[in-house]
Structure formats: structure tokens, C-alpha cells
């Protein structure tokens, strides 16, 4: 279930002060990248499809998802609410 914080396999936390998405958790579930804000308890869909994700990381405003066949880079500053 999206938004429930039980057993997310692939996730990373945004560090406050490190660009876009600070304090949010970014995770891949059911071939979709989501952002979870623990303060508002809201989950936002950011990107799909994400096939065969292995790891996820965040540096400043860029989310990098390493998949079996490719690496996906998403610029959070380009995403509109």
C-alpha cells in the first residue's frame, strides 16, 4: 500500500539543506517512484515506469535509480506540483 511505511525495499532519505526534497523519503514501489513527506503524511507520484530497480540515491536535486538495464536520473527541480 502506497504511503504505508512498512517494508519499503528501495528507498532513501533527502537530507534537509541538500537541495530539493530535503526531509522526504524517496522510494520505488510497483515500478513507480514516490516521495513521502513525513510532516504532512502525503505521498506524491514522481515517475513511472521504473523497471527492475536495484538502488536509489539522492544528491542535491537529483534522484538516481540504478536499475538492472539502465540508470534513471530525475531532476526534482523540474517537477511541478
Report if residue 1 sits inside a domain: no
- pLDDT for residue 24 is more than 70: yes
User: Number of structural domains, the chain?
Assistant: 1
Report if residue 2 sits inside a domain: no
Report if residue 51 sits inside a domain: yes
Report if residue 28 sits inside a domain: yes
pTM of this structure: 0.84
Report if residue 3 sits inside a domain: no
Report if residue 5 sits inside a domain: no
- d(C-alpha 50, C-alpha 58), whole Å: 16
Is-contact 12 46, C-beta < 8 A? no
At residue 81, the pLDDT reads: 62
In whole numbers, what is the pLDDT of the chain averaged over residues?
88
Amino acid at each position: 500500500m502506497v504511503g504505508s511505511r512498512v517494508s519499503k525495499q528501495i528507498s532513501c532519505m533527502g537530507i534537509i539543506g541538500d537541495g530539493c526534497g530535503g526531509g522526504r523519503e524517496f522510494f520505488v514501489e510497483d515500478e513507480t517512484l514516490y516521495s513521502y513527506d513525513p510532516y504532512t503524511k502525503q505521498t506524491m507520484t514522481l515517475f513511472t515506469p521504473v523497471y527492475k530497480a536495484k538502488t536509489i540515491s539522492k544528491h542535491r536535486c537529483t534522484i538516481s535509480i540504478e536499475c538492472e538495464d539502465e540508470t534513471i536520473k530525475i531532476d526534482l527541480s523540474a517537477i511541478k506540483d
